[in-house]
Amino acid sequence: MDAEIDLRGILGLIRRQLWLILSTIATILVLTIVFTYSLTPRYTANSLVFVDTSVKNLLTSVNGMSNPNADNSRIESEVAILKSDSVLLNVVRENNLVTDSEFGIKVSLKDKILSWLRIPLPPAPTGDEALARVLDAFKSAVRVNREGLTYVINVGVVSTDPVKAATLANSLGEIYISEQLNAKVASTLTNRDTIQKQVEAANAAMVASENDFDSYISENIERLEKQSNAVGLTDLKAELSKINDDRTSELRRITTLQASLQSQDFSSLVNELGSQALAELQSQREDLAKRIASTTSDSPESINLRAELAKVDNSLSSAATQEVDNLQKAVENYQKQADDVRKKIRSTVLDSNLPMEVLAQMFSMQKSSEIARQQYQTLLSRKTELESQASLQLPDSRVVSAALVPTSPSFPNNKVILGMSLLFAIGFGTGLAILREYFIGGFVSENQIEAVLKVPLSAIAPRQATGDEHHKLASPTSSLADLMVTAPLSLFSESVRRLRLTLDQQERKHTGVKSQDADEGAIIMVSSALPNEGKSTMALSLARAYALTGKRTLLIDCDLRKPSVNKQLNLEPNHDFIDYLRQDRSSATLTSLIMRDPLSNLTVLLGGRRSDIATDELVMSEKMGRILSSARKHFDYVILDTPPVEPVVDGLYLARHADMIVFVIKWASTPQSSAKRAVAALKENKNPDAGIVTLLNQQDRAKMSGNYSYSGYYTE
């Protein structure tokens, strides 16, 4: 049941604040649409880069396996490298983004304003500063993320131009892979250069060791021949000397030929080499040179002859180069012959009967030479391998999916923005409705009144439509309070009787209020926080409700600044009551001021016309006190229609005389802050034993949720 009541309350709140909710939603949606479609669309192009963590070497048939435990760190490192300034800066330079309209340096709005105001502009950025700004702008457009725990990296670039976004995304991936390959090649070449120094040192050590051994044998060959009785050492030494002399001579000849070849001195080449083929080519060359000399330089014949001469020169150069290569091979044979003779000398010496100390010394020198040669060969082999690896390096990453030109913008996502905006608008509109309903706006429920004002709600009076009112009332100028007589079974009349019941219950609770058998009547004050809340109508209706039960009832219009009871009774206004309080007319008596309600036996004391003096002096006078004391003795109930509390203080002075106070609140209209201040002021100024009840007036049943299942008890 409670859930049903809460649901009805929510539906009622929505119905009452529907216009506010819908207008809030419409406003937010319109602003969102205008803002969204004013944004410049941005496109995101994505490429996928795969990182292969295995060790690759084309010189071997088996590649090394990666370490799975280190793969995560490796992939994250590659992501950091992809986002590094070095890679991004190369993309900026490669695509000339410094002059790009989106990422490049351009005149800012601030500079335009300063220029328009003729204020000196700040100095233009330097080249490095401009490049740094472009780099920062491009960096904000780059999105590099690892796809979960995979080996795939998503490389994205955001741009206002979809083609540019795809181009930059692919360029970023390609430059990253190119730099990765260059880094591997550079690392390999660095290792090669390091080994090259060791190769040179090993070669020097090997040569020195060989020279030491050969020098020792050469210097001691005669002594060794005598000590070992070895025959032929002298002849081997002479043969070695001859081979070295021939080798040196050939090297000089090769140097001369290479110089002639470089300077294209073909005559010297032919004379030095003595080749018949070269001689014939040289003869053809000389003949062509003579024929060219006899022709004009621009003639077709001259051009053809020059072309033939170029062919002959190429043939001469190729033939001479081949001859020089053959001579170099011959020199290599000399070196081989020399090595063979050295081996014979060494073996002859080592196999001879030499003293032990000489053999030990020679074996030591030979072993040092062999170790130096082995080290040299190992380092030379490693250097050659690194040189091969430098030209055969492969990148560890590759693009597995190139970026395509995006067909739809990634920002703004209109559907998502509008959807979120709609949800926000609904929530915000509902929040405003709740704020207006329960904190800023008027009162609409019993719980709301009791929670805010801390006073009980006696009844809820409905709003009476004008058409219904005319249908039930005697004339268009009649008061709504006439329904107490003309429509006693109406919902309005029942709400007034419920107010009367609440006052009777409160009367029995407070000792300061008389019982039905007491001699004095009760004074009931009807007040409100603000004007036009139906206070006078309720005062008249309540007075008639008591009068219709046979109670002696007096209604006093105490709103002397703006009296209205006379209008509702269709009686002519006068100044008698005000004059009586001012004692301006001594002939006037209270009895002469009292009138009868035309529709009931209610006695009325009218306020008459508006007062032209401060009314608080009148209501707080001793004469007003005597009037109320006299009314207590002659009437069962005295109803005071008092002015609203917020504009004037009259009601607060009259509250001291009241036994009960009815505080009228206009449904969904009276501000909560005003009602709180008014009730607080009444509590401070009222009789301590007097009670306060509230009446929620002019409820709009059309804005309340649910159906009135008991509506058959009323006649409207």
* Homologous superfamily of domain range 456-706: P-loop containing nucleotide triphosphate hydrolases (3.40.50.300)
User: In whole angstroms, what is the distance from residue 101 CA to residue 167 CA?
Assistant: 15
Q: What is the pLDDT of residue 588?
A: 52
Strand 152-159 and strand 142-146: pairing? antiparallel
The identity of residue 411, as a single letter, is F
Q: With CA atoms as reference, report the closest residue to 79 among 51, 44, 47.
A: 51
Q: What are the start-end ranges of the H helices in 436-473?
A: 446-453, 466-472
* Cβ 188 vs Cβ 180: under 8 Å: no
User: In whole angstroms, what is the distance from residue 566 CA to residue 577 CA?
Assistant: 12
* Cβ 33 vs Cβ 425: under 8 Å: no
Angle at 401 between CA 395 and CA 402, to 5 degrees: 90
**Which residues make beta-bridge pairs with 401?**
48
Q: What is the pLDDT of residue 211?
A: 75
Is residue 433 classed as helix, strand or coil in its secondary structure? helix
* Cβ 436 vs Cβ 20: under 8 Å: yes
Q: Any idea what DSSP says for residue 436?
A: I
Q: Which H, E and C letters describe 61-118, residue by residue? A: CCCECCCHHHHHHHHHHHHHHHCCHHHHHHHHHHCCHHHCCCCCCCCCHHHHHHHHCC
Alpha-carbon dihedral angle through residues 592, 593, 597, 598, given to the nearest 10 degrees: 60
Residue spans of the domains in the chain: they are 2-190+397-401, 207-391, 456-706
Type and span of the H or E element at 136: helix 127-139
User: In whole angstroms, what is the distance from residue 687 CA to residue 324 CA?
Assistant: 136
Type and span of the H or E element at 590: helix 590-593
Alpha-carbon dihedral angle through residues 472, 475, 480, 481, given to the nearest 10 degrees: -100
Tell me phi and psi for residue 146, to 5 degrees: -80, 135
Q: Which H, E and C letters describe 283-326, residue by residue? A: HHHHHHHHHHHCCCCCCHHHHHHHHHHHHHHHHHHHHHHHHHHH
Residues of the chain with pLDDT under 70: 1-6, 55-68, 107-112, 114-115, 120-124, 218-233, 349-356, 359, 465-477, 510-518, 584-590, 608-611, 702-716
Q: What is the pLDDT of residue 141?
A: 94
**Which tokens hold the place of 194?**
């390091």
**Which tokens hold the place of 157?**
């670039």
Q: Which H, E and C letters describe 528-562, residue by residue? A: ECCCCCCHHHHHHHHHHHHHHCCCCEEEEECCCCC
Strand 43-51 and strand 397-401: pairing? antiparallel
Q: What is the pLDDT of residue 83?
A: 92
**Which residues make beta-bridge pairs with 51?**
397
Angle of helix 414-435 versus helix 18-38 axis, rounded to 10: 150
Strand 691-699 and strand 594-596: pairing? unpaired
C-alpha pair distances (Å), 600 with each of 472, 483, 549, 577: 17, 12, 10, 22
Q: What is the pLDDT of residue 221?
A: 66
Angle of helix 162-219 versus helix 85-94 axis, rounded to 10: 110
Q: The tokens 């209209």 sit on which residue? A: 669
C-alpha pair distances (Å), 398 with each of 47, 423, 563: 11, 44, 93
**Which tokens hold the place of 712?**
């058959």
Q: Peptide bond before 412: cis, by omega within 30 degrees of 0?
A: yes
DSSP string computed for 359-373: HHHHHHHHHHHHHHH
Q: What is the pLDDT of residue 469?
A: 40
